[in-house]
Amino acid sequence: MKKDIHSKEYRLVVFEDSSINYSFLTKSTVKTDETVKWEDGNEYPLFKIEISDQSHPYYTGQRTLVDTAGRIEKFNRKYKKKDS
């Protein structure tokens, strides 16, 4: 294993899921210019994300409807054998 390839600059960072207004505090090395006041009264760097485990369909159990019938029909039309 290579030595000294991992950053040693971990600090507490607030990640904010902008799609559902969900935030969590964790250690990270991500660079950010914004800060936010957290529930404990301290100010931490803020990193905004578009999706998290609280909003991702895989974790929430919400699924999107996929038009499989339309896709199958399109495939059949495209690759249909020509009658001789």
Question: In whole angstroms, what is the distance from residue 73 CA to residue 19 CA?
Answer: 35
Cβ(14)–Cβ(47) under 8 Å? yes
Beta carbons within 8 Å of 68's beta carbon, 6+ residues apart: none
**Tokens encoding 39:** 């529930």
Q: What is the pTM of this model?
A: 0.61
DSSP class of 19: T
pLDDT in tens, 9-18: 899 999 998 8
Listed by start position, the domains of the chain span 11-78
Q: What is the pLDDT of residues 45-64, one digit of tens each?
A: 999 988 777 776 665 566 55
